[in-house]
């Protein structure tokens, strides 16, 4: 805050000892923070697994002392732990993992805001936190709404993460080597948004001409134009993190493309189209997903490999099927761990080189 001298965090742990003890007493430890094999009542926290939870700052409440704030180096280590250990955990459902990670990343951003951290080191923490958040949300899949992770809260936290990071960039102190990549992620996550496009177009030309932003602008243009063939070709070339960012728009883009096909091919007697064509056009994960997409929109099938476009049969009810996005997202990890993908410099991802982008309009 202007005119207010901020402290520098000194807490060496992912969760301050005082908070661990308090949450032990109040039985507020998450099961992912409990010492393995612990049978005590109340359960004991594992200092290597407990992570500071988010606590909303209250009006009139004193600022936390330095020993309750984690410095940037500890915050970055915390993010790496959340990406490398918690997000990869096989002991909890993905929705439960997402709910835990989102809360702890929110606490990371708050700790950073409450102390005097340099913009360059703050940006590194915020970038890693946002990348982890995007990846965890993308992993939820179509059944997330039935779990403990609230989709509206998840979206709000992603937008808050972008806001914190982009404000850090805007302060001008750098360098920020990954800024082009994360400005591109911002546009991809907000695909079709006039405001997001306006903000990106106001960035310096040196940023806008970097491959990650050129690619994001190309995807946004194809999305706005309704050019499904170009859009899904571009989506298949995206590295992992951009694919995570854009995943929330894939089902809507597929529905719009299917609606266009229905308008173009539907006849009173019905016209058939190979499902294999739709798999290739919409980057679907096989014939079964194509069948499910067609049937969810009222289109009958002719056997197992063709869809029939009958006039008046196409319908849109509720949200479009979420799909699995294995080819468009999951496959792009290419054997890396989530932590490696989150921390990787964009230049190290093989698909991100100058000259690798299709020309506009192809």
- pLDDT tens digits along 151-166: 888 999 999 999 999 9
Q: How far is CA 17 from CA 21, 28, 54, in A?
A: 6, 14, 15
43, burial (CB in 10 Å: exposed 0-12, middle 13-18, buried 19+): middle
Greater model confidence, 299 or 62: 299
pLDDT at 63: 86
Q: What is the pLDDT of residues 89-109, one digit of tens each?
A: 888 888 999 999 999 999 999
Banded model confidence at residue 147, pLDDT cuts 50, 70, 90: low
Report yes or no on 360 lying in a domain.
no
- 248 alpha-carbon distance from chain centroid: 9
Q: What is the largest CA-CA distance in the chain?
A: 75
Banded model confidence at residue 42, pLDDT cuts 50, 70, 90: confident
Structural domain count of the chain: 2
Which domain-ending residue is among 130, 159, 176?
176
DSSP helix/strand/coil, 273: strand
pLDDT at 148: 62
Q: How far is the C-alpha of 335 from the C-alpha of 341, rounded, in Å?
A: 10
Report yes or no on 83 lying in a domain.
yes
pLDDT at 142: 55
Greater model confidence, 3 or 26: 26
Q: Is the peptide bond before 175 cis (omega within 30 degrees of 0)?
A: yes
Average pLDDT of span 213-242: 97
Lowest mean pLDDT of 12-26, 267-281, 321-335, name the range.
321-335
Give the length of the chain: 362
Examine the domain organization and report whether 25 and 123 are in the same domain. Answer: yes
User: Hey, CA dihedral for 98, 47, 8, 68, is it positive or negative?
Assistant: positive
Q: Which domain holds residue 104?
A: 7-54+66-176
Examine the domain organization and report whether 38 and 127 are in the same domain. Answer: yes
Q: Percentage of the chain with pLDDT > 90?
A: 75
Lowest mean pLDDT of 38-52, 59-73, 134-148, name the range.
134-148
Which domain-ending residue is among 145, 176, 207?
176
pLDDT at 347 over 60: no
pLDDT at 323: 83
Examine the domain organization and report whether 49 and 140 are in the same domain. Answer: yes
Average pLDDT of span 51-71: 88
Output phi, psi for 74, to 5 deg.
-75, -35
Examine the domain organization and report whether 169 and 73 are in the same domain. Answer: yes
Q: How far is the C-alpha of 118 from the C-alpha of 151, rounded, in Å?
A: 32
Q: Are 181 and 346 in contact (CB under 8 A)?
A: yes
Nearest Cα to 33, choosing from 41, 43, 25, 42? 43
Report yes or no on 118 lying in a domain.
yes
- Residue ranges of alpha helices (H) inside 171-239 are 179-189, 194-201, 205-208, 211-225, 228-237
Q: Percentage of the chain with pLDDT > 70?
A: 91
Report yes or no on 230 lying in a domain.
no
């Amino acid at each position: 805050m202007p005119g207010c001298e901020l402290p520098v965090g000194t807490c060496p742990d992912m969760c301050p000892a005082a908070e661990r003890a308090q949450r032990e007493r109040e039985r507020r430890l998450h099961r992912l923070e409990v010492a393995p094999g612990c049978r005590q009542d109340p359960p004991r926290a594992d200092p290597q697994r407990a992570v500071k939870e988010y606590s909303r700052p209250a009006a009139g409440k004193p600022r936390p002392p330095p020993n309750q704030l984690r410095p940037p180096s500890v915050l970055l280590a915390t993010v790496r732990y959340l990406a490398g250990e918690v997000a990869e955990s096989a002991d909890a459902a993905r929705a439960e993992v997402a709910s835990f990670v989102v809360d702890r990343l929110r606490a990371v951003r708050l700790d950073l805001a409450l102390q005097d951290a340099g913009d360059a080191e703050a940006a590194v923490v915020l970038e890693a936190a946002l990348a982890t958040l995007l990846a965890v949300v993308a992993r939820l899949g179509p059944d997330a709404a039935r779990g403990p992770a609230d989709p509206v809260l998840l979206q709000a936290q992603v937008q808050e993460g972008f806001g914190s990071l982009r404000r850090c960039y805007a302060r001008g102190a750098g360098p920020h080597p990954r800024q082009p990549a994360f400005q591109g992620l911002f546009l991809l996550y907000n695909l079709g948004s006039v405001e997001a496009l306006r903000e990106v177009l106001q960035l310096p030309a040196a940023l806008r001409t970097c491959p990650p932003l050129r690619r994001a602008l190309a995807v946004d243009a194809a999305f706005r134009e309704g050019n499904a063939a170009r859009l899904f070709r571009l989506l298949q070339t995206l590295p992992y993190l951009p694919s995570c960012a854009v995943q929330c728009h894939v089902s809507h883009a597929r529905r719009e493309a299917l609606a266009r096909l229905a308008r173009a091919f539907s006849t009173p007697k019905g016209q058939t189209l190979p499902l294999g064509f739709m798999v290739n056009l919409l980057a679907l994960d096989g014939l079964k997903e194509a069948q499910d997409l067609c049937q969810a929109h009222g289109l009958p099938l002719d056997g197992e490999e063709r869809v029939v476009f009958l006039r008046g049969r196409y319908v849109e009810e509720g949200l479009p099927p979420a799909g699995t996005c294995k080819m468009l997202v999951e496959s792009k990890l290419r054997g890396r761990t989530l932590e490696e993908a989150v921390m990787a410099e964009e230049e190290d991802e093989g698909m991100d080189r100058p000259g690798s982008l299709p020309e506009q309009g192809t």
